[in-house]
Amino acid sequence: MERKLVVGNWKMNGDRVRNSALLDQLVGAMPAAVDCAVCVPFPYLPQVGESLVGSGVALGAQDVSEFPEGAYTGDVSVAMLADWGVRFVIVGHSERRAMHGESDLTVARKAAAALDGGLVPIACFGETLVERESGVTELVLLRQLDALAANLSPEALQGIVLAYEPVWAIGTGRAATAEQVQTVLALVRRWLADHVPAPERVRILYGGSVKPETAGGLFSLPDADGGLIGGASLDAQSFLEICQAAGSAAQGN
Ligand code: PEP
């Protein structure tokens, strides 16, 4: 994939004043050579969506219901997100898997609902430290990916964005090494070859403690199509530098 994709995940951070200050610094400064998005908390979708109009930065959400409507108190549907101009939605973030008990099946159903409703799901998958140290990383990742393939047609799966996020690297300041990341991304690319018509066209992101200093190296890996950025996306300068690193990586310098 020629253009990289960099997605900020604001998690449960921000308020109207801080959002506005952050967006003022981002809008107009984002490099044109990179596709960018910010996934923001539900209440701020209207505010952020309005600020991003004409900016080239896409609007994203951090979760979505697998159901279309009805008695699901607290949940938000695909149609509701689309109503606010949302283009991307994160599904299966490890924080939701761990804290809300989301299973591989639930994540796959959310991805299917998003695709069905015209949104692009960013499906997160990754191993815990215990799993890595027990030597079952590949097994765990393939289990998570296979659940997607079992619930999506090859044509639907073609429209997904995958985000490899080792759980031990998220919010810890300890990014995976380039070698660890490329080993997994290559595995995922091979897996894609068995499941979609055009495996090279599915974007695979890396997420986990990406910083401006590490972004260039990670985004230059042969199978890296960009990044999912948590903490560093809350600082305008850091997020801009990470996006610029993605632009440079796409141009091969
Ligand atoms: C994330 O939450 O998706 C993430 C990658 O967080 P961080 O960059 O803070 O590790």
pLDDT, residue 192, reads: 98
Per-residue pLDDT of the chain (253 residues; tens, 9 = 90+): 689 999 999 999 999 999 999 999 999 999 999 999 999 999 999 999 999 999 999 999 999 999 999 999 999 999 999 999 999 999 999 999 999 999 999 999 999 999 999 999 999 999 999 999 999 999 999 999 999 999 999 999 999 999 999 999 999 999 899 999 999 999 999 999 999 999 999 999 999 999 999 999 999 999 999 999 999 999 999 999 999 999 999 988 5
CA-to-CA distance for 1 and 200, rounded, in angstroms? 7
CA-to-CA distance for 49 and 24, rounded, in angstroms? 13
CATH superfamily of 5-252: Aldolase class I (3.20.20.70)
Tokens of 170: 């998220």
Quick check: pTM over 0.75?
A: yes
pLDDT, residue 2, reads: 82
CA-to-CA distance for 129 and 190, rounded, in angstroms? 24
Residues with a CB atom less than 6 Å from ligand 1: 9, 165, 170-171, 207-210, 228-232
CA-to-CA distance for 197 and 206, rounded, in angstroms? 22
100 is catalytic: no
pLDDT, residue 253, reads: 59
Which residue lies with its CA nearest to atom 6 of ligand 1? 230
Q: Which atom of ligand 1 is nearest to the CA of 172?
A: 10
Question: What's the 82 CA to ligand 1 centre distance in angstroms?
Answer: 24
93 is catalytic: yes
Q: Structural domain boundaries of the chain?
A: 5-252
Q: Which atom of ligand 1 is nearest to the CA of 11?
A: 2
